[in-house]
């Protein structure tokens, strides 16, 4: 463990980059927590002003390393994230945490967990925590998460931990916002490791078997080893399996070391740049799609002509694909 | 209970509508189960041939009544759906079931439950069951579900039950494919009914408290009543609260009656047509969006010029919004 280094001013990162004009963006870049909270709320509300804000902070981002932590319920993720945060803080880095729970309108769990954490880390200016539920993010939880990560990055967090609760499609998309992804496997999983093979296994850079003192933990580790042996993938990186007991502070330093190793591997191999560029490309296409929807498609659905075609489609005299053709701009109709 | 009526031929529904040319579509419209299974697999695989298939069956759809059944885990949804199926079969209608589990790569539950059901209903040609997981539906589980419903509709199912497991955003979107939505509330829910207020409460046309013999069931019913009193909404339809014990065949006839009442209410008030038209409009916009993505945006991201801009954005010398502007077709750029 090293001494906590003095926090560097976020502006130090890009002295050649002009400061943005809106006061809230300037406050955010100076590390102001209230400004960060406010901007994230604007992101969550899909406020129209958020685009220019995000544009103005964009030049000051890209320095934070993003670590995703995901996996099925019961793995002790929250405690693990808390203890990992402590280890990273001890190493001198500032930590942003985004806790995403697509089911939160039901569980209320994220909110409660958030409150507990807030108390634990309340006195530490080097930690900033935000939880997000699915509400108000119809189809855009991953985008909202990516923008929130950028806010934490801009305010000077060196590492951003993205914790996703649950294992559905939305969680996979959220996990895709990370540079390195740790998948936390609960020991004693009903159907064994085989049951969680699909989807989540492919995104794992590191496996964590938390609750390593559980009687089933070694079984999970050996199942994972078998699985990795069957799917070597031919890559240069073989996901390590890290055993932790977060409640007893066991294995967290090892996990942090593995994350750093993976980060170095990504940087060295050019894979970090590649992954980030793929994400950026997806984001650009999403922005373009939203703009086309808002400025081309939606206005065309507001015409009398469209209402008439919709009525014909409802009466089964046209089909949805034909009507879609009619609202497309020239040059974008089907090639058949 | 009435005698099962003789199954009407699906073609009877639209004698003026031409039969589609692909043999698989003809087989589907004749009620062939293997053809239906095959078409749904094509939908799941996002096979390019599926569009023309869906277009050719579209004129023969719109007759099935779609009932969504959703809610948090632990409510006994599967058994409820099974017993409700029996009641609807006894009333003489054919029943299609789509069981959607966005988490299925993990739980495997849908597959297991499906097998049990298959055995129970194996001898009944008036029931067709299909389960769907999230895999392969990146961002499109709701669309795949809507198309699957249409296949069941086209093959002659009178009622389609859409059961969604879980309570996340994807489930809300799937629930949105139904004409009537029943929300099943498990008794003895941790934080009480308040915890599930958000999101799911707004989509409920009918509340079901299954496991009505549970000691906490009456508490849930009175909590729901309080909630409904606080949110009268000013609508003409107040969601009824139906108590059932699916494992003992209690309350299912009542539930079916309430669903029919709601269906009549929707038809009488014009709300059924309104809801269906909104869904159709959303579907048309989605089709148009996909086409724009595939035929305008994606080709433009494959140019040398785009790769160069992407590199500039990665270096923070452009921002994602600027690059998005460059790939938009003329007339779709930002108005500012």
ipTM of this predicted complex?
0.83
Instruction: Please compute the mean of the pLDDT values over residues A77-88 and round it to a whole number.
Output: 92
Residue pLDDT, tens place only, A232-275: 665 689 999 999 999 999 999 999 999 999 999 999 999 999 99
Predicted TM-score (pTM) of this structure: 0.76
> Under an 8 A CB cutoff, do B319 and A295 touch?
no
If one counts every other C-beta atom within 10 angstroms of the C-beta of residue B32, the result is 15
β-partners of residue B20 are: none
Q: Are A319 and A310 in contact (CB under 8 A)?
A: no
Cα dist from A10 to A7, A28, A121, A177, B87, whole Å: 9, 10, 21, 22, 65
> Under an 8 A CB cutoff, do A108 and B191 touch?
yes
Count A/B contacts: CB-CB distance under 8 Å. Answer: 222
> Under an 8 A CB cutoff, do A327 and B138 touch?
no
β-partners of residue A207 are: A183, A241
- Name the pLDDT band for B191 (thresholds 50, 70, 90): low
Q: Which CATH superfamily is domain A61-269 in?
A: P-loop containing nucleotide triphosphate hydrolases (3.40.50.300)
**3 state DSSP class of A291:** helix
> Under an 8 A CB cutoff, do A297 and B277 touch?
no
Token pair of B195 as six digits: 């915890």
> Under an 8 A CB cutoff, do B291 and A58 touch?
no
CA distance A60 to chain B (A): 8
Going by C-alpha positions, the residue among B232, B166, B178, B224 that lies closest to residue B203 is B178
Rounded to an integer, what distance in angstroms lies between the CA atom of residue A32 and that of residue A43? 17
> Under an 8 A CB cutoff, do B173 and A138 touch?
yes
Q: What is the pLDDT of residue B108?
A: 32
Evaluate if residue B1 carries a pLDDT over 60.
no
DSSP string, A55-92: HHHGGG-S-SEEEEEEBSTTS-HHHHHHHHHHHHHHTT
Residues 6+ apart with CB under 8 A from A296: A329, B292, B329, B331, B332
Residue pLDDT, tens place only, B207-243: 999 999 998 889 889 888 888 887 666 568 999 999 9
Going by C-alpha positions, the residue among A57, A32, A149, A24 that lies closest to residue A96 is A149
Judge: domain B26-269, CATH 3.40.50.300.
yes
Q: For A42-51, A59-68, B89-98, B159-168, which range has the lowest pLDDT when averaged over its residues?
A: B159-168
* Higher local confidence (pLDDT), A249 or A117: A249
> Under an 8 A CB cutoff, do A51 and B321 touch?
yes
Going by C-alpha positions, the residue among A147, A22, A21, A288 that lies closest to residue B334 is A288
> Under an 8 A CB cutoff, do B296 and A331 touch?
yes
Which residues of A are less than 8 Å from B54 in CB distance? 319, 321
CA distance B86 to chain A (A): 30
Q: Are A69 and A49 in contact (CB under 8 A)?
A: no
> Under an 8 A CB cutoff, do B327 and A170 touch?
no
> Under an 8 A CB cutoff, do B134 and A106 touch?
no
CA distance A81 to chain B (A): 22
Rounded to an integer, what distance in angstroms lies between the CA atom of residue A168 and that of residue A134? 12
**3 state DSSP class of A194:** helix
Minimum-distance CB partner of A134 among B168, B297, B334: B168
Q: Angle at Cα B194 formed by Cα B145 and Cα B113, nearest 5°?
A: 35
Evaluate if residue B17 carries a pLDDT over 70.
no
Sign of CA dihedral A158, A144, A116, A247: negative
Q: What is the pLDDT of residue A77?
A: 86
Residue pLDDT, tens place only, A29-59: 999 999 999 999 888 888 888 999 999 999 9
Q: What is the pLDDT of residue B123?
A: 74
Residue pLDDT, tens place only, A90-116: 999 999 999 887 655 433 333 445 545
Which residues of B are less than 8 Å from A72 in CB distance? 106
Q: What ranges in chain A are assigned the alpha helix state H?
A: 23-29, 33-44, 50-57, 77-90, 104-107, 109-121, 141-154, 169-175, 217-230, 252-269, 271-292, 298-301, 304-314, 320-327
Rounded to an integer, what distance in angstroms lies between the CA atom of residue B146 and that of residue B66? 10
CA distance A36 to chain B (A): 20
Q: What is the mean pLDDT of chain B?
A: 82
Q: What is the pLDDT of residue B278?
A: 93
Mind spelling out the 3-state secondary structure of A149-190? HHHHHHCCCCEEEEEECECCHHHHHHHCCCCEEEEECCCCCC
> Under an 8 A CB cutoff, do A168 and B288 touch?
no
> Radius of gyration of chain B from Cα atoms?
22
**Residue in A closest to B279 by C-alpha:** A314
Q: For A171-185, B55-69, B83-97, B111-125, which range has the lowest pLDDT when averaged over its residues?
A: B111-125
Rounded to an integer, what distance in angstroms lies between the CA atom of residue A166 and that of residue A99? 11
In the block, tokens 């409904």 appear at B228
Q: Which of the given ranges, A96-100, B152-156, B192-196, B212-216, has the highest pLDDT on average?
A: B152-156
Q: What is the pLDDT of residue B105?
A: 45
* Higher local confidence (pLDDT), B8 or B158: B158
Evaluate if residue A89 carries a pLDDT over 70.
yes
Q: Report the residue of A139, A191, A287, A288 to disrupt the B interface, i.e. the one with the largest count of B CBs within 10 Å.
A: A288
**Residue in A closest to B173 by C-alpha:** A138
Q: What is the pLDDT of residue B193?
A: 63
Q: Are A209 and A224 in contact (CB under 8 A)?
A: yes
Evaluate if residue B14 carries a pLDDT over 60.
no
**3 state DSSP class of A319:** coil
Which residues of B are less than 8 Å from A14 in CB distance? 316
Minimum-distance CB partner of B58 among A198, A200, A316: A316
Minimum-distance CB partner of B170 among A170, A297, A335: A170
Of how many residues is chain B composed? 336
Ranges assigned E (strand) in chain B = 65-70, 95-101, 127-133, 159-164, 180-184, 206-209, 241-243
Sign of CA dihedral A320, B66, A135, B132: negative
Q: What are phi and psi of A152, to 5 degrees?
A: -65, -40
Rounded to an integer, what distance in angstroms lies between the CA atom of residue A169 and that of residue A152? 24
Q: For A82-91, A158-167, B166-175, which range has the lowest pLDDT when averaged over its residues?
A: B166-175
DSSP string, B97-158: EEEEETTHHHH-HHHHHHHHHHHHHTT-TTEEEEEEESTT-TTTHHHHHHHHHHHHHHTT-S
Residue pLDDT, tens place only, B35-46: 999 999 888 888
Element (H, E) at B173: helix B169-175
Domain residue ranges of chain A, discontinuous segments joined by +: 61-269
Q: What is the pLDDT of residue A193?
A: 63
Residue pLDDT, tens place only, B91-131: 999 999 998 876 554 333 334 455 455 556 667 889 998 88
Going by C-alpha positions, the residue among B157, B94, B156, B106 that lies closest to residue B133 is B106
Chain centre distance of CA B143: 9
Q: Report the residue of A284, A294, A302, A306 to disrupt the B interface, i.e. the one with the largest count of B CBs within 10 Å.
A: A284
Q: Are B114 and B107 in contact (CB under 8 A)?
A: no
Evaluate if residue A219 carries a pLDDT over 50.
yes
Q: What is the pLDDT of residue A300?
A: 93
> Under an 8 A CB cutoff, do B291 and A324 touch?
yes
Rounded to an integer, what distance in angstroms lies between the CA atom of residue B109 and that of residue B111? 5
Q: What is the pLDDT of residue A162?
A: 93
Residue pLDDT, tens place only, A282-333: 999 988 988 888 888 999 999 999 999 999 999 999 999 999 999 988 766 5
Minimum-distance CB partner of A280 among B167, B313, B327: B313
Q: How many CA atoms lie within 13 A of A257 on its CB side?
A: 10
> Under an 8 A CB cutoff, do B280 and A320 touch?
yes
First to last CA, chain B: 64
> Under an 8 A CB cutoff, do A103 and B141 touch?
no
Which residues of A are less than 8 Å from B302 in CB distance? none
């Amino acid at each position: 463990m090293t001494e906590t280094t003095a926090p560097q001013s976020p502006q130090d990162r890009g002295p050649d980059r002009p400061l943005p004009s809106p006061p809230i963006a300037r406050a955010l870049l100076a590390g102001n927590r209230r400004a960060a909270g406010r901007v994230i709320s604007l992101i969550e509300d899909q406020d129209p002003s958020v685009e220019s804000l995000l544009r103005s902070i964009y030049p000051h981002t890209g320095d934070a390393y993003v670590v995703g932590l995901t996996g099925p319920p019961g793995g002790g993720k929250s405690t693990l994230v808390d203890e990992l945060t402590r280890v990273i803080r001890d190493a001198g880095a500032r930590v942003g945490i985004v806790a995403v729970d697509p089911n939160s309108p039901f569980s209320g769990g994220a909110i409660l967990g958030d409150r507990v954490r807030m108390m634990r880390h309340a006195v530490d200016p080097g930690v900033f925590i935000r939880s997000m539920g699915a509400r108000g993010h119809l189809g855009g939880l991953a985008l909202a998460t990516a923008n929130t990560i950028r806010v934490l990055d801009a305010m000077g967090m060196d590492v951003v931990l993205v914790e996703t609760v649950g294992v559905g499609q939305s969680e996979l998309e959220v996990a895709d916002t990370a540079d390195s992804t740790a998948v936390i496997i609960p020991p004693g999983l009903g159907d064994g490791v085989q049951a969680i093979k699909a989807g989540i296994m492919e995104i794992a850079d590191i496996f964590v078997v938390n609750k390593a003192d559980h009687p089933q933990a070694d079984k999970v580790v050996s199942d994972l080893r078998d699985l990795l042996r069957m799917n070597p993938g031919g890559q240069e990186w073989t996901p390590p399996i890290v055993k932790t007991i977060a409640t007893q502070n066991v294995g967290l330093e090892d996990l942090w070391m593995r994350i750093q190793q993976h980060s170095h591997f990504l940087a060295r191999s050019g894979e970090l740049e590649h992954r980030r560029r793929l994400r950026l490309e997806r984001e650009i296409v999403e922005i373009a799609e939203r703009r086309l929807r808002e400025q081309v498609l939606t206005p065309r659905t507001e015409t009398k002509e469209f209402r008439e075609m919709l009525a014909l489609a409802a009466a089964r005299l046209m089909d949805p694909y034909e009507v879609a053709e009619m609202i497309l701009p020239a040059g974008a109709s089907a090639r058949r």
